[in-house]
Amino acid sequence: MSDDATYTASVVGGTGFTGGELLRLLAGHPEFDVVQATSRSKENKTVGHAHPNLRDLDLRFSSPEELESVDALFAATPHGVSMEQIDEFQTAADTVVDLSADFRLDTEGQYDEWYDGHTRPELLEDSVYALPELTRDELPGADLIASGGCNATATILGLKPLVEEGILTGDEQIVVDVKVGSSEGGAGGGEASSHPERSGVVRPYAPTGHRHEAEIEQFLGLDVSFTVHAVDMIRGASATCHVFPGEPVSKGDLWGAYRGEYGEEPFVELVAGGGGVYRYPEPKAVAGTNRAEVGFELDPGNRRLVVFSAIDNMMKGSAGQAVHAANVALGIEETAGLEFGGLHPVGAP
């Protein structure tokens, strides 16, 4: 353990895209010392073998069957794995941060409806959802943290101020269109994520019934008509929400709602029709960062409000959010290890 680090950490499932992002963040974090990264497929190989940007990290992948005792364990595993191995995870670590969907929802019934059931429903009431802008007060001391889904995170951040200000009450029509990069499919995304098939597309892949609707409904109390498109970028999730408020709303109302909600947030920036090229939230502008951009525009003729939000799906939508939540849970400065502000200009994110 390094002299300055306060906590030890491990990453289970370290060879995937999100596992690599976790390792990158934790290796550069002033309070964490990464002591283990696990992989079944690349056991004994160096971390740099899977993640060339981490070739200087002196660490080899080890078996997930032999977990070291650590302060914080980050599980970057597919859905269904953590609920089966949660006892081993909690034996190994005081704080478990799960990046899958296994502990995001409140009830067994929700998992029956949206997933394939749940094998450890008694633990659902103990988990804390990791979207610090939403659940910051619940995170300190939490020992089971469920990192929010990327598409849900983008949508929730866009709509939350409208709910808090009473502009949305739950009776309105809300249409959400999310466009996502190929990394959302993971390192083993399959045929649809191969470059020849993915390049140049704007492909609806979840026209209805996307599982992240459950998170939006649970945490905002809203029913949304939700569609997701795969587009030709690597990193990013961009949500466009078409909202039809029941009562007239002004730009002043909107600025008040969004500034009131996010004015003190370290990782949320308002981008709403200013000057320059990037007038509204743009995934390219936040690639590699834990930042979210949120903006809006009024369409008075149609009594419509259009809300935009953009995140890096692997950072604010996954690894960055997980580290942010762990910081809050452990009493670390919440921006620690997450200060990178992005690059401009930059190629396809």
- The alpha carbons of the chain give a radius of gyration, in whole angstroms, of 20
313 annotated to a ligand binding site: yes
Query: How is 80-135 classified by DSSP, letter by letter?
Result: THHHHHHHHHHHHEEEEEE-SSTTSSS-HHHHHHHSS--S-GGGGGG-EEE-HHHH
- Do 92 and 70 meet the contact criterion of CB atoms below 8 Å apart? yes
Distance (Å, whole) CA 77 – CA 22: 12
> Does residue 335 have a known ligand-binding role?
no
**One-letter amino acid for residue 307 of the chain:** V
Type of residue found at 20: G
* Euclidean distance between CA atoms 118 and 80, whole angstroms: 8
**Left, alpha or beta for 6 (phi > 0: left; psi -120 to 50: alpha)?**
alpha
Q: Which of 243, 250, 293, 297 is nearest to 270 (CA)?
A: 293
Residue in the structure block whose two tokens are 């939350």: 160
Which residues have a catalytic role annotated? 150
Please name the helix (run of DSSP H) or strand (run of DSSP E) that holds residue 19, with its range, or none. Answer: helix 17-27
Q: State how beta strands 173-180 and 237-244 pair.
A: antiparallel
Residue 18 is labelled as binding a ligand: yes
- For residue 120 the two structure tokens come to 């450890």
Residue 6 annotated as part of some ligand binding site? no
- Whole-angstrom distance, CA of residue 260 vs CA of residue 263: 6
The annotated binding site for NADP(+) is made up of 15-18, 313
Q: What are the binding residues?
A: 15-18, 313
